[in-house]
Amino acid sequence: MAEEPQCAACGSPDLRAHLRVAGDMGDQGLIPTTDRFGTALSDIVRCANCGHMQLARMPSDAELESAYSDAASDDYVEEEAGQRETARRMLARIEQHAPQRGAILDLGCWVGFLLAEARERGWREQVGIEPSAFASSYARDRLSLDVRTDDLFNAPLPDGHFDAVVLGDVIEHLPRPGEALARIQTLLAPGGVAWFALPDAGSRVARTLGARWWSVIPTHVQYFTRDSIATLLERHGFTVLETATAPKAFSVEYYLSRIEGYSKPAGRALVRGARAARVAQRMWAPDFRDRMFVIARGGGQSVPGRAMSQPWPDSTPSDTSAS
């Protein structure tokens, strides 16, 4: 029937029980949400070879596709100032490595704030792919961006064209992230770079909170560490250039309301308190050091698998922890 499950990062079949978090999807289905913590679609297993964590049982493509095409959330529109601030910071990092401010592709661009900021910063061409009808039409109609409503990895795009391909909060949702990296390799221009932002499951916060970590949510199927994302990238011919923490700027109200995922009364009381103190709309970029970005250069040769007896060494030269 199904193939032998393997580690999505290194390919090892040695996956061991790690967190018991299987639960119901809830009456909202698979809507991307950050207000339910400690529940996933199945239990989480950990790779004994490289430390990568992933769901023991991956949801079907059909399950995921229908869920994401219906996705709509006001959070990321209401939080426009924070999203744009985060995008500007990340573009500045990408520009240090990209060959030029040429063509940039945002796979899973949501409403398009990063592309809008790239346009402001002088990138010549900005293209986005977004499966959500709500988010992609917002990008086109409100921000006049070239954003197409399509599947992230099957949309028709020119090969060898993009100086930068960005995936913000995408790769942890993919049952087969290696196929996504192979596709990105074909899209990159010579010297082009890929940028990823994702939760860091090897961070101290993630390890301390375990199943109660706020990134353990029904739509996350991969739990990368700095080592396991590097392993996956290198297997697919990428050279990791930079890895660092990636705090997200949001309003105080947004963060406090997330606490409702643990305790509704506590979260609501904190939001009321912040509103009363008139700090609710202040921007805040707390760095829990549990979210990372990785910039990698494409162009190398893929290797089918990599035997590792040890987790990746911590002293990787590209592993700068600067934030």
Residue with smaller CB distance to Zn ion, 86 or 231:
231
Nearer to Zn ion, 54 or 126 (CB): 54
CB of 201 to Zn ion, least distance (A): 12
Q: Site for Zn ion (CB under 5 A): how many residues?
A: 8
| 52 part of the interface to Zn ion, by CB under 5 A | yes
Nearer to Zn ion, 113 or 224 (CB): 224
Question: Burial letters for 196-213: b for 16+ Cβ neighbours within 10 Å, e otherwise?
Answer: bbbbbbbbebbeebeeeb
At residue 99, what is the residue type?
A: P
Contact residue for Zn ion among 40, 41, 45, 47 (CB under 5 A): 47
Name the segment binding Zn ion (CB under 5 A); options: 19-27, 52-60, 86-94, 265-273. Answer: 52-60
- 8 forms part of the interface with Zn ion (CB under 5 A): no
* Burial of 99 (C-beta count, 10 Å sphere; 0-12/13-18/19+): middle
Verify binding: residue 10, Zn ion, rule CB under 5 A.
Answer: yes
CB of 294 to Zn ion, least distance (A): 17
- Contact between 216 and Zn ion per CB under 5 A: no
Under DSSP, the state recorded for 261 is G
At 226 the three-state DSSP class reads helix
DSSP character at residue 65: H
8-16, 101-109, 126-134, 237-245 -> range binding Zn ion (CB under 5 A): 8-16
Rule CB under 5 A: say whether 50 interacts with Zn ion. Answer: yes
Q: Which residue among 12, 39, 137, 239 contacts Zn ion (CB under 5 A)?
A: 12
10 Å CB burial of residue 92 (0-12, 13-18, 19+) is: exposed
- Which backbone phi and psi does 255 adopt, to 5 degrees? -65, -45
Element (H, E) at 87: helix 80-95
Name the site residues for Zn ion (rule: CB under 5 A).
7, 9-10, 12, 47, 49-50, 52
